[in-house]
Amino acid sequence: MSTVGAFCVTLDKDQCINARMPGKCATCVEICPYGVYGLNEENEVVVQNYNACVGCRLCAEFCPENAIRINPAESELVSRFPWTLGTIEEIHHKALTGSYGLRGFGTMGPTPHFDTIVVVPSQLASPSPRDKYREECNMEVVIGEDTCEKPIRLLYPFIFPAMSYGALSREAKLALAIAAAKTGILTNTGEGGVVEEEPYYANGYEKPSRKKKRWEPGGYLAIQWSTGRWGVSADYVDAGDAVEVKIGQGAKPGMGGHLLGDKVTEDIARIRGIPVGSDALSPCRYYDVTEPGDIKKQVGFLRDISNYEKPILMKLGPSRPYDDVKAAALAGVDAISIDGLVGGTGCSPEVVTQGVGIPTIALIGPAVRALKDLGLHRKVKLFALGGMRNGLDAYKAMAMGADGVGFGSAAEIAMGCRGCMACHQGNCPYGITSQNPKMRERLDPEEIGQRLANFINASAEEVKILTMLSGHSDIKELSEEDLRALDVDTAAITGLKLVGYERPLPWWENGRGG
Amino acid sequence: MAHAASVLDAKGKDLRAASTELKSLLAKEPVVVKNASHLHGLCGGLKRGEITIDGDGGDYLGVVNSGALIKVTGNAGKYVADNMTSGKVIVEGDADYGAGQYCYGGEVVVKGNAGDFTATMNKGATIVIGGDVGDETATYMVGGDVVIVGDAGENLGNYLIRGNVYIGGDWVSLGHNCAVSEVGADDVQRLESLLKQHGATVNAKKFRKIAPLSDKPFYSH
């Protein structure tokens, strides 16, 4: 599972400026945070440690002469299965150090996902398609309409899920806030406290005085109430437009957040109330929830502290979706996010990220049934998270019954991430998951905020195209009838009609599983 | 109480009704709340004011307190003063499970005994227990001080990262990443003033101190 040795780094000496004029260019040496390149005694650039390459490809992008090639050592990785190069390196690492592997970003390798589901368009025998170019499509999602004095009105059915300050840089957090403001969606503090500018940036204001909006239409910020309770105070609960109670996350359900000491700078230590350089390992459960009724009491006092104005959200990991969602809804929240196996992380034990939890497509059906059984479907809003890549994934999740989706890893990629899976080391060369000032200065919140907003706008357009070609003018009209499973496995997992067969598989016909 | 106080009878009221009334009364003068043991999370997030809970309190009393003085004349429920950042909570009787968890600052005083997981994840508050505490006291504490006049149960100071635990009695077992450490003159002086302030007539010199071993007990390089 390790990425060690997974990439071949080659330097074309005919192209390299440094090879022709030693000392003239060392961009790759300068830019690589992993020490892949070095200078020899003659001041020539050499590939000194190709094993350290994580495949982020920043060096290749910045090389002025296009002299660098980064190729995955794929044949090696695949041919010796199950003893791939990654597995061999993983065993060597344990044998040498006695400790298990940690990883950032998320799950590697194939898991059941949305790709084996297709959208059914409208033709003659169904409501006519709507005209994407000349007709309207409502994509608004309202959270807490009947329960809160200040409900949240998302312009698009999207949220940025919780990613903490600590896991992410200050600049990345602000870019997310700016993007939420520019697109009218919801961003989330994550569990690492709030960055000072985040609340007013998310609402569209550049200054705390909140006089004139800089970024229209203005979005929302959820503050997260979590098991480590990092940086939580009455002012913190007051700072956002919603409060999210975190129970778990897709990448490491059953465990709390991990922030390794390397990323705990003075500022992060100050906000979290921990010593500089110590690990912030959140408890796996709330120390202040010890019996079933306690979580409802917590939702109750969070409503009270926020003066009954703000929606209360809850985030669940992928475990037993029917029972978990039912329990969450009965605790009295306004929206539930359920995160799938491939959900992202800043740091997690590899075995947990890789092998623990249920894939996203298998969560949505039971979650929707739980809400329907309580008569709360579409009242308590459901957001599907974990591996959402575009408007197509979002459409499919919504047709399965979710009210919206979260873009976490996709948002990081929109910020520049190449998925090198080394977030936990804190050296992110794009400044997204690094606390190193040298990396952070590479990320301009405004520029990257615009990239994120572009991604959200484009994905919203995709949802609009698909909603309208399947004969709807409102995302709330989407249903399972708008989807088909391409193979028996997917039909079995989701209960969707199988293409060709045009019915759900037999065991779904009488009483749908839980 | 010496000075004037309004009285709020919470009997039959839900959290919203009681809390709204409490906040409006507090704007003028101290408030005495009666019959509040069914309310969980009362006095949440208050920034000022003086409240006396006459009788027993419910769970999560004074959660996220950030400046109020809260007194309980009877016993407190579970998780009293949860996640307090400043202010003071005084319990005349006993406190149930998890008193003073997740606190960043302020002071929690329990004159009687406290339950398991007291002061867990304390990050900076001073927590004084006049009697005994249960198991797992000060688990994953990151800062602040805990003073236990009586005895402690199992796993005292488990995975302590920062801060100190002072204990006058005995304990069943110590947790990981902590050890008995020397009590300095500064410690004795602080203890004496704290104990005196809370009317405990015990000799501060007899206390032992439990201190953390490492900032990084899990992932070292």
Q: How far is A257 from chain B (nearest CA, A)?
A: 14
A-B CB pairs within 8 A amount to 103
* Partner residue opposite A297 with nearest CB, options B41, B64, B219: B41
Q: Using the beta-carbon criterion (under 8 Å), do B123 and A274 form an inter-chain contact?
A: yes
Q: Using the beta-carbon criterion (under 8 Å), do B41 and A288 form an inter-chain contact?
A: no
Q: Using the beta-carbon criterion (under 8 Å), do A275 and B140 form an inter-chain contact?
A: no
Q: Which of A399, A376, A505 is nearest to A157 (CA)?
A: A399
Q: Which chain B residues have a beta carbon less than 8 Å from that of A290? A: 78, 97-98
A23 Rama sector, left if φ>0, alpha if ψ -120 to 50, beta otherwise: left
Q: Which of A218, A148, A131 is nearest to A180 (CA)?
A: A218
Q: Which residue of B has its CA nearest to A100?
A: B219
- Can you give the pTM of this predicted structure? 0.94
Q: Tell me how far the alpha carbon of residue A200 is from its chain's centroid.
A: 22
Report yes or no: A108 at the B interface, CB cutoff 8 Å.
no
pLDDT, position A2: 56
Token pair listed for B131: 């009697």
Outline where chain B has alpha helix (H). Answer: 15-26, 185-197
Q: How far is A46 from chain B (nearest CA, A)?
A: 28
Q: What is the predicted ipTM?
A: 0.96
Token pair listed for A42: 């003659």
Q: Using the beta-carbon criterion (under 8 Å), do B140 and A283 form an inter-chain contact?
A: yes
Report yes or no: A149 at the B interface, CB cutoff 8 Å.
no
* Partner residue opposite B104 with nearest CB, options A233, A283, A298: A233
Q: Which chain B residues have a beta carbon less than 8 Å from that of A281? A: 218
Q: For B170-220, what is each residue's pLDDT tens digit?
A: 999 999 999 999 899 999 999 999 898 887 788 899 999 999 999 999 987
Q: For B81-131, what is each residue's pLDDT tens digit?
A: 999 999 999 999 999 999 999 999 999 999 999 999 999 999 999 999 999
Q: Which chain A residues have a beta carbon less than 8 Å from that of B65? A: 234
Angle, helices A391-399 vs A445-469, to 10°: value is 50
pLDDT, position B201: 81
* Partner residue opposite A278 with nearest CB, options B63, B98, B215: B215
Q: For B54-82, what is each residue's pLDDT tens digit?
A: 999 999 999 999 999 999 999 999 999 99
Q: Using the beta-carbon criterion (under 8 Å), do A298 and B41 form an inter-chain contact?
A: yes
Q: How far is A346 from chain B (nearest CA, A)?
A: 15
Q: Tell me how far the alpha carbon of residue A463 is from its chain's centroid.
A: 18
* Partner residue opposite B216 with nearest CB, options A235, A279, A308: A279
Q: Using the beta-carbon criterion (under 8 Å), do B78 and A235 form an inter-chain contact?
A: no
Quick check: B38 pLDDT over 80?
yes
Q: Using the beta-carbon criterion (under 8 Å), do A304 and B83 form an inter-chain contact?
A: no
pLDDT, position A174: 98
3-state secondary structure (DSSP) of residue A1: coil
Q: Which chain B residues have a beta carbon less than 8 Å from that of A235? A: 66
Interface test with A, best of B21, B79, B97 (most A CBs within 10 A): B79
* Partner residue opposite A233 with nearest CB, options B15, B66, B215: B66
Q: How far is A31 from chain B (nearest CA, A)?
A: 24
Q: Which residue of B has its CA nearest to A231?
A: B104
Alpha carbon distance A313, A143 (integer Å)? 9
* Partner residue opposite A301 with nearest CB, options B41, B102, B161: B41
Q: What is the mean pLDDT of residues B144-154?
A: 97
Interface test with A, best of B24, B59, B70 (most A CBs within 10 A): B59
Alpha carbon distance A183, A217 (integer Å)? 7
Going B17 to A223 to A190 to A262, the CA torsion angle's sign is: negative
Quick check: B147 pLDDT over 60?
yes
Strand partners, A383: A337, A404
Q: Using an 8 Å CB-CB cutoff, list residues of chain B that contact chain A.
A: 15-16, 19, 40-41, 44-47, 59-60, 63-66, 78-79, 82-83, 85, 97-98, 101-102, 104, 117, 120-121, 123-124, 139-140, 142-143, 161-162, 215-216, 218-219
Distances (CA, A) of B216 to A228, A290, A350, B120, B169: 16, 27, 20, 18, 29
Question: What per-residue string of b and e applies to B54-76 under the rule 16 or more CB within 10 Å gives b?
Answer: bbbbbbbbbbbbbbbbbbbebbb
Interface test with A, best of B142, B161, B176 (most A CBs within 10 A): B142
Strand partners, B34: B9, B54
Q: Which chain A residues have a beta carbon less than 8 Å from that of B122? A: none
pLDDT, position A510: 64
How open is the CA angle A192-A196-A201, to the nearest 5 degrees? 110
Going residue by residue through chain A, which has 514 residues, state the pLDDT in tens, using 9 for 90 and above.
456 667 889 999 899 998 888 878 999 999 999 999 999 988 889 999 888 888 888 899 899 989 999 887 765 556 677 887 778 888 999 999 999 999 999 988 889 999 999 999 999 988 899 999 999 999 999 999 999 999 999 999 999 999 999 999 999 999 999 999 999 999 999 999 999 999 999 999 999 999 999 999 999 999 999 999 999 999 999 999 999 999 999 999 999 999 999 999 999 999 999 999 999 999 999 999 999 999 999 999 999 999 999 999 999 999 999 999 999 999 999 999 999 999 999 999 999 999 999 999 999 999 999 999 999 999 999 999 999 999 999 999 999 999 999 999 999 999 999 998 899 999 999 999 999 999 999 999 999 999 999 999 999 999 999 999 999 999 999 999 999 999 999 999 999 999 999 999 998 876 555 4
Interface test with B, best of A304, A309, A350 (most B CBs within 10 A): A304
**Torsion angles phi and psi, residue A27, rounded to 5:** -55, -45
Q: Which residue of A has its CA nearest to B100?
A: A288
